[in-house]
Amino acid sequence: MAAVKKGLGKGLDALFESYREEIGAKQDDSLVQEIKINDIDPNPDQPRKQFDEESIKELADSIRVHGVVQPVIVRPSGSRYMLVAGERRWRASRAANKTTIPAIVLDLNEKEALEISLIENLQREDLNPIEEAKGIQEMIDRLNLTQEEAAERLGKSRPAVANALRLLQLSEMIQELLYENKISAGHARALLSVSDEKKRDEIANLIIKKNLSVRETEKLIQNLNSKKKKPKIKQKPSYILEIESELEESLGTRVQINPGKKKGIIEIEYYSNDDLERIIEIVTGK
């Protein structure tokens, strides 16, 4: 099989169209054949690790009535076949007690099969934002792609891929909340504007506790970021305060003593030239 064409840009549809052109098939049906379900093995490197049993049961009920609408993708593996795409349909067909399943057999190498599996996983309708982010990162790592190349294969813009990957900068706790749909992707993007990770987690818990909307969350974070930290005022020793008080009483104006480790500063306020001359006379005794 020829290598996968690069720059596909529209996900699985474009990828399969590329294969059809190489094989010379003009119709989808020309690639489909019925294969025994027991002759197909699931791919141990399948990117999707979790399958909802209730969803599988619902699909199995549909398959009993309507059959498998979209064929699975397999590749030869010795005398058997290895699943490339469509494990959910394969599982549901087994649950529906089907003996065969419509399949497209493609002579793929491991990298080509992996690319199809990764893209299929990222084009699921029920894909969670954090699953998408992890899926894109896995695709980049396993296929040694740049963000731009990943975007091209997925039919997404480069900024869309970059924004998805930014979610992985959040703590495991926040990623778990996003995975469980306790917060939305909008909440998560708002939290990214908070630089302190501990503060992010605190705000995430507050979002759940007070059921904050994305807009309310953004406003809360904006207010927090706009507040300037008040400098801590170091408490002066009592003897310094006493000296300040004595000088203020003698000079009739405000006096500040700022002690340092080896030297300090005395600040004497005056409010006019006459006031300055008055203070000088007191200090010099002239």
Q: What is the pLDDT of residues 75-127, one digit of tens each?
A: 998 899 999 888 889 999 999 999 999 999 988 888 888 888 888 878 776 77
Q: Is residue 44 exposed (0-12), middle (13-18) or buried (19+ Cβ within 10 Å)? A: exposed
Helix (H) or strand (E) holding 214: helix 214-226
DSSP 133: H
pLDDT at 226: 76
Distance from C-alpha of 11 to C-alpha of 8, rounded to nearest angstrom: 7
Beta bridge partners of 265: 258
Structure tokens at 194: 């908070």
Helix (H) or strand (E) holding 266: strand 265-268
Question: What amino acid occupies position 92?
Answer: A
Percent of the chain with pLDDT over 90: 26
pLDDT at 21: 47
- Cα-based distances in Å from 180 to 130, 131, 185: 10, 11, 11
Mean pLDDT along residues 59-67: 90
Q: Is residue 155 exposed (0-12), middle (13-18) or buried (19+ Cβ within 10 Å)? A: middle
Number of other CB atoms surrounding residue 273 within 10 Å: 8
Pairing of strands 32-36, 100-105: antiparallel
Q: Which of 21, 22, 34, 87 is catalytic?
A: 87
Q: What is the 3-state composition of the chain as percent helix, strand, coil, each rounded to the nearest 5? A: 55, 10, 35
| The CATH number fitting domain 12-126, selected from 3.90.1530.30, 3.30.160.70, 3.40.50.150, 3.30.390.50 | 3.90.1530.30
Contact 51, 88 (CB under 8 A): yes
Distance from C-alpha of 235 to C-alpha of 216, rounded to nearest angstrom: 38
87 catalytic? Reply is yes
Q: What is the pLDDT of residues 202-223, one digit of tens each?
A: 999 999 999 999 999 998 988 8
Q: Where in the chain is the domain with CATH 3.90.1530.30?
A: 12-126
pLDDT at 30: 60
Q: Is residue 265 exposed (0-12), middle (13-18) or buried (19+ Cβ within 10 Å)? A: exposed
Cα 162–chain centre separation:
9
pLDDT at 23: 39
The contacts of residue 79 (CB under 8 Å, 6+ apart) are none
Helix (H) or strand (E) holding 242: helix 238-251
